[in-house]
Structure 1
Amino acid sequence: MKSIVALVGFLLALVITGYSQNKNAKVVSDDYSRNALTVIFLNYNQYPYAEFLNNSWPKLVIDDKWDNNQVKNITLKAPYDLRPAKIEQDFEGMKQALRSKAEFIDKMKKAENPEYVSPYKSIYKIPNEKRQNYQQLKALEEKQKNEVQNELITEKYPHQIIQKWFNMQQDGTVDLEAIFKRGLYNATDADYHAAMDSKIKDALLKDAGLKLINNSYIVVFDFGKILSIDEQNAIIKNALNEFEKLRNDYNSAEHQEIIATLDANIKNLQENIRKDENGFIAEIKIFLYKLDFNETVAQSLWDLFEEIPDNNSKWKINNATLNNISFPLLMTSILNFPFAESVQYNKGHSLAPEKQASKEELFDMLVRSQFEGAKMMFTRKVDAFKVRAPVFEANKKMFFPQVKAKIGKKESIRLDKRFFVWEKQEGSDGNAKSKRKGVVRASNVIVDNRQSTTGNTGLTTFYQVAGKKLEEGMVLQERPDFGMGLVFLSGFPMSPVAYNSTTNYDSPMLFGGRLDANISPLFGMAGVKFLSEFRFFIEVKAIGEVSDTIFNSPDALNSDDDSKLKSNAAIGFGFSKDIHLMKNIKISPFAQYSIASWDNIDFAGQVGLGVRLPINIIYPLSIVPGCTYYTKYENENLSTYTQLSGFYFDASLRIEF
């Protein structure tokens, strides 16, 4: 119990700290411009899965939020050696830990007896390789970032991006068509009206496209050592053989500590064998670089433009001279996905798909899923990637508060995408800052603005999930989340517990936890209209022991102590729908099915229907009172216990992330 309280306290402190950091921020501007992506991958010498990656890469879809800056060369020669697979690193770590254990034991025994001779000869054959500490790993990562950056520059990827922007042909002919088109597409209604009020009108919008060149990013995927499930299983089996040979060397009482370590390692490895699955796994690093197209660099490029007689829309650039210009890159961010995989159960397994995906299809899924994950995580980390827009309309009513903004499908707004709402204020020091006033999510009303504006863009509706009253002119800022909630709950039956209407029990306490996930965005990504914040949840709970109010009364379960009814444990799943009534209050009706055991009786099923009332304390923390009606268990032996059915009340603490 103390450990649970400590965990909840730690999470509460973490939430409050994070809230205080997000509550006030530097000025959040509504000036948002589109970004362009170039996505490539590292190719190692004799890379066994290079062909699969080459085939999967052209299928990547760069969605509407980004301009597509894909270049002809989708691979970059890896500037460093292939990293070992994670399972290989884990195995080496186990061996080093085993050797360290033997060294420690020997040191202690030697101190007790100077004539002590180590029995661990076979363990000392393990090479004594020092594990890299955190600082060394960070230094290695920094080195790799620089090496990838240098290789990108050496292979002229920044030049290829510039050529893409200016539609450069083999003879050096360039034009501004793509730049003008992207400038018009990027323009907001405010930009449009400002341009129409000027003398040069849409030329102003076209020229704005030149600024977008500085929003060019390169995403470099390093898949490391990709393994099939069969290859990983083979590595694990070899590791098992090695540990089992060592285990056979030590079987006497004096080796108990080493035996325990070996047994733990063997068990760990055995549990990692995936004999019922097929597919691919990888430990992925993803590097993000920004093209630094500053004024000095831009001017050096403009100086190369040569006019073509009688042609006002095209120019010429000498390729050799262009190659002499240095287009710098800035390291922006790095991601690590240590457990990337694309797997399926083998044919014949109860969870196997009806049709097995081919190796090519599994690779496509691996590449696509990691690219989607990278876009989300980079958006969380890089401010330039966060869509921003002013609040155009605000519904300030007490019930069902909403705001509207002129962003939509062009910015890849999908159902339930989360945004923070900021208000610009003056701080006590006289400097401007932004203060978070609320949190909203995109509704099903999303405008299709995937065309150049004519000054009358439609509105996307966002419903408020937390915060204070929102006003026109505040700034929406995209803040992707995982759409999940972690819940700690406690409760009790709302009616006395009885057995055969004769034996009364004190109401038992219920303790449990729940993990919920918003599945609505999955439908939004598929382009299907669906309910907002429709959640799937898994719940684990237990009812503690309760004392009989009449001592020594009969107990149908024949427990050792007739004065107590033993505890039960249940695991269940269900669906809920969040309905946001007010700024910080929502109602969540739900249905669930639980499977539980009661004392020594077999597992039995039970249906629950109920409603919860989440109330925000400090977003993303809320308290959640709830009431559930449970049907009787599907087990005749349990039907006489009223605590197994009827109404339950519970209160919980929920953390959203």
Structure 2
Amino acid sequence: MARGLFLFIAIMMTCSLEADNRSKVVEDYNRSSLYTISMLHPGTGMYDQIYETMLNVSVPERFNDHNLSLRLIVSQGKADDQERVKQVEDFLKCNKVAKRLVSKWFNRDKKDGAFDMQLVKDRGNYNATIEDVNLAMQSIRGKAILEDAGEQLINNTFVLVNDITYVDKHSKADGVKSVFQAISLVGNIMSAAQGNKTSGSGSSLQGVGQLGDAITSLVAGFTVRMKSHLFQLVWNDSIAGTFYSQYYYDKNTIDQDKKRAYLRDNKLFQLKYVGSYEATSSKTVLHGLKNNGDVFMKVLTRAIDENIVQLRKKFEIFKITAPLYEIASDGMIHIHIGLKEGVSSSSKYEVLERLVDDEGRITYHRKGVIRPVKGKIWDNRFMATEEGADGANLNFTSFEVVSGKDFYPGMLVREIK
């Protein structure tokens, strides 16, 4: 993979051998950065509710939040898959999203145009002090470590555009409304039952039982179709070289010529299309849902998580790594991933050791293979605890060793086929 950042840093990599430090360093350093956008369609079913919900959906925990202020795309009319991707690409280009992602990486000040390396330093777990860019070539180690940062961090910046439509399985509009009227009714009945200990509460609870099957059927009927389009920020030695030599300056060296040049450049920074995945949300479990907002948040959050899992399986560059959390006395390996990340009893993961050479470059070496233990897979999906799902209280997934030895907390695991 191409390398290239030309900035001197007097730096010492945080690479302590203590196990409690390893996990934090590896987990933070190896996270990809994600910017999520929702594409919605006015005039379609449940548009307003989906719109409000998507404004509050968070970036999945296994990613650095690289969101920009622009979070929603409004699309009119129908289009086939190829046309829709072209529409998204045009939108991203028109709004200079790639350039804005770079500006966020380097914390660009809108007033004076100055950049800094604080975010790169924080996400890379660098203990660094930034020096004059003119000294860049005088430090082999400083240059090597920032080249690594470009490869490991900036190059792993993604944009996920989620095209969402409500799937209306009802023949009449009244059917849609009845889903949420039913949920509200459950809430009212349960509130009455909890606040009234007389015979009236018994009648209310009986009403819940009578309505149960019908309500469950209605809620399960609320589904969305989501097609997720994945893009990656293009970052290589040529782009990095141009950026640092022609545009980069900090607050100690304000340069109006570089500021104007950066603002004029609409070609250097680009996003490349990686691929797409489409799925329909799965059946909704009623337990734990208290209001209409819960329904929307649960359905939409889980749909996004599932599409991300499938995109990870489909595209190597989008695969996540996670740190080995601890090794139990019985030899079981505990890791903070679960159903949300697509872990199943048939999954296998390689265990990687992260090594830093004398020049600061990072390499990874396989030390073994592990697999999840059946019955000990953590259900960390959104609202799994509220619905009382099996495995929701585990807090981690337990793995057994297939091959290899001498594992320790902080090593990386990555799913393999």
**Please, what TM-score do these two structures have when normalized by structure 2?**
0.56
384-393 or 169-178, which moves further after superposition? 384-393
Shift of 1:222: 0.7
Q: What letter corresponds to residue 224 of structure 1 in structure 2?
A: T
* Contact 2:227–2:279 (CA under 8 A) maintained in structure 1: yes
Shift of 1:413: 9.1
State the partner residue of 1:157: 97
Residues matched between the structures, number: 307
Matched, 1:145 2:122: no
State the partner residue of 1:221: 162
Shift of 1:41: 1.0
State the partner residue of 1:72: 69
Question: C-alpha deviations, 1:592-639, integer Å up to 9, x for none?
Answer: xxxxxxxxxxxxxxxxxxxxxxxxxxxxxxxxxxxxxxxxxxxxxxxx
State the partner residue of 1:107: none
Q: What letter corresponds to residue 214 of structure 1 in structure 2?
A: N
For 1:179 and 1:285, locate their aligned partners in 2 and report how far apart those are by CA, in whole Å. 31
Rate the CA distance shift 1:229–1:184 in 2: closer, same or farther, 3 A.
farther
**Larger Rg computed on CA atoms:** 1
Q: What letter corresponds to residue 149 of structure 1 in structure 2?
A: E
State the partner residue of 1:173: 114
Rate the CA distance shift 1:207–1:466 in 2: closer, same or farther, 3 A.
closer
Question: C-alpha deviations, 1:66-86, integer Å up to 9, x for none?
Answer: 1111110001243x7347xxx
* Contact 2:231–2:274 (CA under 8 A) maintained in structure 1: yes
Rate the CA distance shift 1:36–1:363 in 2: closer, same or farther, 3 A.
same
Q: What letter corresponds to residue 350 of structure 2 in structure 1?
A: V
Rate the CA distance shift 1:155–1:436 in 2: closer, same or farther, 3 A.
same
Q: How does 1:608-627 map to 2 (within 5 A)?
A: none
SS in 1 for 2:59: coil
State the partner residue of 2:276: 334
Question: Equivalent of 1:280, from 206, 219, 222?
Answer: 222
Shift of 1:337: 1.0
Shift of 1:155: 2.4
For 1:181 and 1:62, locate their aligned partners in 2 and report how far apart those are by CA, in whole Å. 18
State the partner residue of 1:471: 405
Question: C-alpha deviations, 1:492-513, integer Å up to 9, x for none?
Answer: xxxxxxxxxxxxxxxxxxxxxx
Question: Equivalent of 2:36, from 29, 36, 39?
Answer: 39
Rate the CA distance shift 1:234–1:209 in 2: closer, same or farther, 3 A.
same
State the partner residue of 1:421: 350
For 2:273 and 2:66, locate their aligned partners in 1 and report how far apart those are by CA, in whole Å. 18
Question: C-alpha deviations, 1:233-270, integer Å up to 9, x for none?
Answer: 769xxxxxxxxxxxxxxxxxxxxxxxxxxxxxxxxxxx
SS in 2 for 1:371: helix
For 1:163 and 1:149, locate their aligned partners in 2 and report how far apart those are by CA, in whole Å. 19
Question: C-alpha deviations, 1:340-389, integer Å up to 9, x for none?
Answer: 56575xxxxxxxx587512x332222221112222322232233343458
Question: Equivalent of 1:81, from 77, 82, 89?
Answer: 77
Rate the CA distance shift 1:231–1:335 in 2: closer, same or farther, 3 A.
farther
What value does the CA root-mean-square deviation take over the aligned residues?
5.1
State the partner residue of 1:500: none
* Contact 1:277–1:343 (CA under 8 A) maintained in structure 2: no
For 1:221 and 1:82, locate their aligned partners in 2 and report how far apart those are by CA, in whole Å. 16
Q: How does 1:589-608 map to 2 (within 5 A)?
A: none
For 1:295 and 1:307, locate their aligned partners in 2 and report how far apart those are by CA, in whole Å. 18
State the partner residue of 1:439: 371
* Identity within the alignment, %: 15
Question: Equivalent of 1:367, from 300, 309, 314?
Answer: 300
Question: C-alpha deviations, 1:28-70, integer Å up to 9, x for none?
Answer: xxxx832001011113355564443343234223244211111
Rate the CA distance shift 1:466–1:437 in 2: closer, same or farther, 3 A.
same
SS in 2 for 1:40: strand
Extract unaligned runs of 5+ from structure 1. Answer: 1-31, 84-139, 188-198, 236-272, 345-352, 425-432, 446-459, 482-657
Q: How does 1:516-531 map to 2 (within 5 A)?
A: none
* Contact 1:56–1:363 (CA under 8 A) maintained in structure 2: yes
Q: What letter corresponds to residue 160 of structure 1 in structure 2?
A: R
Question: Which structure carries more strand by proportion?
Answer: 1
State the partner residue of 1:24: none
For 1:364 and 1:393, locate their aligned partners in 2 and report how far apart those are by CA, in whole Å. 32
State the partner residue of 2:231: 289
* Contact 2:120–2:149 (CA under 8 A) maintained in structure 1: yes
165-174 or 298-307, which moves further after superposition? 298-307
State the partner residue of 1:264: none
SS in 1 for 2:224: strand
For 1:435 and 1:204, locate their aligned partners in 2 and report how far apart those are by CA, in whole Å. 25
Question: C-alpha deviations, 1:408-428, integer Å up to 9, x for none?
Answer: 68xx9999895423799xxxx
Question: C-alpha deviations, 1:79-117, integer Å up to 9, x for none?
Answer: x7347xxxxxxxxxxxxxxxxxxxxxxxxxxxxxxxxxx
* Contact 1:43–1:77 (CA under 8 A) maintained in structure 2: yes
For 2:260 and 2:167, locate their aligned partners in 1 and report how far apart those are by CA, in whole Å. 42
Extract unaligned runs of 5+ from structure 2. Answer: 1-28, 129-138, 177-213, 354-364, 379-394
Rate the CA distance shift 1:35–1:355 in 2: closer, same or farther, 3 A.
closer
Instruction: Select the structure with the greater relative contact order (CA < 8 A; seq sep ≥ 6).
Output: 2
Shift of 1:277: 1.6
Shift of 1:480: 9.0
For 2:164 and 2:306, locate their aligned partners in 1 and report how far apart those are by CA, in whole Å. 14
Rate the CA distance shift 1:310–1:167 in 2: closer, same or farther, 3 A.
closer
SS in 2 for 1:147: helix
Rate the CA distance shift 1:175–1:286 in 2: closer, same or farther, 3 A.
same
Q: What letter corresponds to residue 439 of structure 1 in structure 2?
A: R
Q: How does 1:9-28 map to 2 (within 5 A)?
A: none
